[in-house]
Structure 1
Amino acid sequence: MCRLGLVVNPIAGMGGRVGLKGTDGKVEEARARGAEMRAPDRAREMLTELADTGADVSLYTWGGLMGAQVAADAGFDPDVLGHPDGEATGPEDTRRAVRAFLAENLDLILFVGGDGTAADVAETIADAGEQTPILGVPAGVKVYSAVFAVTPEAAAHVAVSFDSTERAEVNDIDEDEYREGEVHTELRALATVPVAPQRQGSKQLSSGTVEGLAEGFVEDVEEGRTYVLGPGGTLGTIKEKLGIDGTALGVDVYRNGEVLVADGAADEISDALGDRNTVVVSPIGGQGFIFGRGNQQISPEIIRNSEVEIVASRRKLDDIGALRVDTGDADLDESLRGWQRVRVGRYETRLMEVV
């Protein structure tokens, strides 16, 4: 029997779709912008896949939206070890749940959230002097740490099949700095994690010039076409070559020499789309994600109504090996998989597989 703990940070990722680049200290603003909870759905996807594996699982969790509710929805009858203090949950609720899991000597602790949740879980285990393995189900806006499965479904399979562990980094960033276009990662903890190819790597910032790539892109820009320009350094160079003051870590919409939307949320981007649209993204260094990490503003609806262009330096592609997607829409993810052409220079492209 596999004995698993599950804790869900229900507010994780709420700021992504509405352009807040995180939810720390921004829950009420996210709700005011119409944000909906994302983490419970991600937990439900993982648990549904976990049930489908047919593995003999004993599930332990925390009350309400922190695990018990979605576990019941997925057909589990978990041991509920406690409940959050109030309707609004916070980091201490996560830490209390983890301490309760440690007392049960479980095989693995699954958590649903982003880097902040990962840090809460890992630090609690370290403070207790334990090395219980953990695995993240990605639901946050920032998912830089190397303790997450690549998708909720992958987390389910890793949870019931891993046979060895290793140490991995838990990194977090200051969200206020992130919103201002600055990324300063901080190593928060080292955690024990399952060894599995379905676990993502730690985000690395790529170096090297992308001048030629950006110049080639600008030469190919079409009049009348709407460009949804994603975040990141490579896209920052493209925005500079276009002559616009782009948002370094946000999503901008450009057409006919003008910025239609700066640092837009999903609904603003959708409203700005035209008859011909192209979403331009660059994979995250060290991980390979082109959708689902740091650019949730580019919603499935936007992707479905656009062509997709991927841009990256050769060095970045060499480091990641393959591209990945995690849009939250399984059908869309499947349609994006396969071989995709990536612009790597002024005229050069490279075929890369989306897995």
Structure 2
Amino acid sequence: MGGRVGLKGTDGEEALREALRRGAKPWSPIRAREFLRHLGEEGRSARWLTWSGEMGEELLREVGYSFEVVGYASKPTTAEDTKRAARRMAEMGVSLIVFAGGDGTACDIVEAIDMETPILGIPAGVKMFSAVFPPTPRAAAQLLIKYLRGETQIVEREVMDVDEDAYRAGRLTAVLKGYAKTPYAPNLLLGGKETVMAVDEELMKESIAARVVEMMRPGVNYILGPGSTVAKVAELLGVDKTLLGIDVVRDGKLIVRDASEEDLLRVVEEAETWIVVSPLGGQGSLLGRGNQPISPRILRRVGLDHIIVIATPNKLRGLEALTVDTGDPDLDEALRGYRRVITGYHEERVMRIR
């Protein structure tokens, strides 16, 4: 609930107090209500067990579902309430635990029940790097509908968390906390009557670009890699970018067009620099193919924590991991692991790099 007041999450009592001091409002009920609205009549076919008050009871009563309260929350609610609820529901043999929150909540549930019961996250946190969250509450509802119809697989996925203090300071350190079982449906559409490909793809690119431009700071260089997704960033800035080349912007202006490695070496020495890249669709190549001017020398000088990866959900669909092939085995090894990918306006997912 800390995102809108400038915090990078509210894990821990101190961060929660600061969020409340700044006037933050709980985000989970809003997202859960949206999820239930999209679930609609389909949700009535399920038997709902829930925790008291704001941990499910109030919203289920609001939408008119039949439910049973199986435990009672403290006031204010804490992580221990989440763990107790998860343990109780697992003991009762529920088929699926649906929760609203972010990575902290997912970690609490996994800590409580391990992989005993499948879970499905309604995305409502600032940090959602775990692979148990569909991109939106609507997508979560569509996935649950498919689950209720027997149209999903149950798969094992990573549950991640980050050091929030480091995250607030602009450093991402994603840590694998465990694994969870979760429903999976390939090529999940967010709505039955939407035109998905051309229109939605462009809208997603625009939302990604808006987020990247929002992140830009004065006096900082931004190396823009090739491709139409990154080109949307330049378009939003009013900059005429090369579609297949490497360009550099600073303070909203183009300072190098179609840059070579030497051009990039020069600008990297002039000011703090970030790299914005998008993987190749269909193969997931992130570095080393199509963007060779962003060489190992450039990457080392810029710093591996100064890389912004962007991609539409369609581009990531079906990819188990992204790949790097910079020509420097040591650098490739350093790049491997988990990295956040901006997939929309304040929407992200974590992808493995191999």
Shorter-normalised TM range: 0.5 to 0.7
Q: CA deviation at 1:165?
A: 0.8
The count of residues paired between Structure 1 and Structure 2 equals 227
| Aligned residue number for residue 136 of structure 1 | 121
| Aligned residue number for residue 20 of structure 1 | 7
> 2:130 is paired with a residue of what secondary structure?
coil
> 1:165 is paired with a residue of what secondary structure?
strand
What TM-score does the superposition give when structure 2 sets the normalisation length? 0.55
Cα separation, 1, equivalents of 2:142 and 2:171: 35
1:104 to 82, 89, 92: 92
Cα separation, 2, equivalents of 1:145 and 1:118: 8
Cα separation, 2, equivalents of 1:18 and 1:139: 15
Change (3 A) 1:81 1:167: same
Matches within 5 A, 1:1-355: 14-25=1-12, 26-53=15-42, 56-85=45-74, 87-126=75-114, 131-162=116-147, 163-197=152-186, 198=188, 211=223, 213=225, 216-218=247-249, 221=252, 284=310, 324-325=343-344
Write out per-residue CA displacement over residues 135-161 of structure 1, whole angstroms, 9 at most, x where no aligned residue: 111111110011111211121221232
* Residue segments in structure 1 that go unaligned for 5+ positions in a row: 1-13, 200-209, 224-236, 249-280, 290-312, 329-355
**RMSD (Å) for aligned C-alpha atoms:** 3.9
> 1:53 is paired with a residue of what secondary structure?
helix
> 1:45 is paired with a residue of what secondary structure?
helix
Identity of aligned residues (%): 40
| Aligned residue number for residue 257 of structure 2 | none
Write out per-residue CA displacement over residues 176-224 of structure 1, whole angstroms, 9 at most, x where no aligned residue: 111122221111111111122349xxxxxxxxxx84649735279359x
Change (3 A) 1:19 1:171: same
Conserved in 1, the CA contact under 8 Å of 2:131 and 2:159? yes
> 1:23 is paired with a residue of what secondary structure?
coil
Which amino acid in the other structure matches residue 98 of structure 2? L
- Larger Rg over CA atoms: 2
Cα separation, 1, equivalents of 2:94 and 2:135: 22
Cα separation, 1, equivalents of 2:95 and 2:270: 54
> 1:48 is paired with a residue of what secondary structure?
helix
Q: CA deviation at 1:82?
A: 0.9
Change (3 A) 1:48 1:243: farther
Conserved in 1, the CA contact under 8 Å of 2:44 and 2:65? no
Conserved in 2, the CA contact under 8 Å of 1:181 and 1:247? no
Q: CA deviation at 1:284?
A: 4.6
Conserved in 1, the CA contact under 8 Å of 2:51 and 2:69? yes
Write out per-residue CA displacement over residues 220-272 of structure 1, whole angstroms, 9 at most, x where no aligned residue: 9359xxxxxxxxxxxxx9xx879776999xxxxxxxxxxxxxxxxxxxxxxxx
Q: CA deviation at 1:283?
A: 5.4
Cα separation, 2, equivalents of 1:55 and 1:22: 33
> 2:3 is paired with a residue of what secondary structure?
coil
Write out per-residue CA displacement over residues 38-76 of structure 1, whole angstroms, 9 at most, x where no aligned residue: 110101111122224365121111111111112212222
Change (3 A) 1:138 1:132: same
Which amino acid in the other structure matches residue 113 of structure 1? G
Conserved in 1, the CA contact under 8 Å of 2:310 and 2:342? no
Cα separation, 1, equivalents of 2:66 and 2:273: 49
Conserved in 2, the CA contact under 8 Å of 1:288 and 1:324? no
Conserved in 2, the CA contact under 8 Å of 1:147 and 1:168? yes
What TM-score does the superposition give when structure 1 sets the normalisation length? 0.55
Cα separation, 2, equivalents of 1:152 and 1:247: 31
Conserved in 2, the CA contact under 8 Å of 1:147 and 1:169? yes
Cα separation, 1, equivalents of 2:271 and 2:103: 31
> 1:106 is paired with a residue of what secondary structure?
coil
Change (3 A) 1:55 1:68: closer
